[in-house]
Amino acid sequence: QKEVEQDPGPLSVPEGAIVSLNCTYSNSAFQYFMWYRQYSRKGPELLMYTYSSGNKEDGRFTAQVDKSSKYISLFIRDSQPSDSATYLCAMNPRAAGNKLTFGGGTRVLVKP
Amino acid sequence: NAGVMQNPRHLVRRRGQEARLRCSPMKGHSHVYWYRQLPEEGLKFMVYLQKENIIDESGMPKERFSAEFPKEGPSILRIQQVVRGDSAAYFCASSPGTGSYNEQFFGPGTRLTVL
């Protein structure tokens, strides 16, 4: 079993819809949770990070962490075709100087 | 402020040759991480370095792979005697190494193809 599980998709939604992404994990030591966006043949770009449990909102993006269920989510409101990309969740046990453990990524396609 | 730079962007090697991948971190960043991404998979951690020190190499294959981050110059990921299974995208990330949270900024990657 992988440490971090993520549905590979693809997830296809119409423009303007809410995109819902999630990851589950098995290592209870993870405390920092991140979502990266990766366009085809580009490097990952950090979208959101959250420490421990709770919600965090930034513009059209909302990240949720439920440590009791070992489950994290990312919601994208009012999706745009430019949101079409692969979304990777990542996590690590401490803030500085530690490796990130990534999920396999979910490919999202927002259709105009 | 230039981002993380990696070169070459594409590298083709024949089996048995050596591959050298370079990473220049963002200005002011002293921590470098290397990750490998196989087709249709997420990124897998390989090694974490600070200047002149390897901090964590738990993700590095035991043979043929090595990494360095010298006092001057870029970080180098070296793969000796490449095999077809080494074909992948290799990403470098850097972080400042201070503060309560260290975002890792990723470079554009080097895509290695082994013929």
Nearest partner of A91 among A72, A69, A64, A68, judged by Cα: A72
pLDDT tens digit sequence for A69-102:
999 999 999 999 999 999 999 998 876 567 899 9
Q: Do A6 and B42 touch (CB under 8 A)?
A: yes
3-state SS, residue A98: coil
pLDDT tens digit sequence for A5-56:
999 889 999 999 999 999 999 999 898 899 999 999 899 999 998 888 889 9
DSSP B51-92: TTEEEE-TTS-SSSEEEE--SSS-EEEEE-S--GGG-EEEEE
Nearest chain B residue to A89, by CA? B42
pLDDT band at B80 (very low <50, low <70, confident <90, very high): very high
| Predicted local distance difference test score (pLDDT) of residue B1 | 54
Q: What is the mean pLDDT of residues B37-55?
A: 90
| Predicted local distance difference test score (pLDDT) of residue A11 | 95
E strands, A1-112, where?
Answer: 4-6, 11-14, 19-25, 32-38, 45-51, 54-58, 61-66, 71-76, 85-92, 101-102, 106-111
| Predicted local distance difference test score (pLDDT) of residue B41 | 77
Name which of B102, B107, B108 is nearest A95 (Cβ-Cβ).
Answer: B102
Distance of CA B24 to the CA centre of its chain: 10
Tokens of A92: 């690590």
Q: Do B101 and A99 touch (CB under 8 A)?
A: no
